[in-house]
Amino acid sequence: MELFEFARQIATPDYVAEKIASCELAISGYQMAVAIELSIVAVCAVAAVAAWRKLKHGGEDVWAGVCWVAITIGAIAAFSMLLSLASIGSEYQNLAAWSNDPVTKVATRVAAKL
């Protein structure tokens, strides 16, 4: 049996619809993660600026620690946000593949496992 003929038997409308829904669910989850990470970055930026100004105007040394902690957490959240954005791009590619040519997508997955 030819690989594409086998893939046509697997790529039923229900199977393809399930894969498309899975891609859409993953995209919405990553979009929510980006929104949360963006708000963390914003809060950390405000905290870092406020702590820096407090330290600059004769504040205690604890404000220097607050400033560095806010910068560190903000940087980690920004890096995590970049990873989430890359995941969104990957899921959009999967969505396009399942929406446009599901038989080729299945044949590629089967061939990769052979």
Tens of pLDDT along the chain (114 residues) come to: 587 788 888 888 888 999 999 999 999 999 999 999 999 999 999 999 999 898 888 778 888 889 999 999 999 999 999 999 999 999 999 999 999 988 888 888 888 877
Note if the pTM is more than 0.85: no
| pLDDT at residue 1, as a whole number | 59
DSSP states of 50-100 as a string?
Answer: HHHHHHHTT--THHHHHHHHHHHHHHHHHHHHHHHHHHHHHHHHHHHHHHH
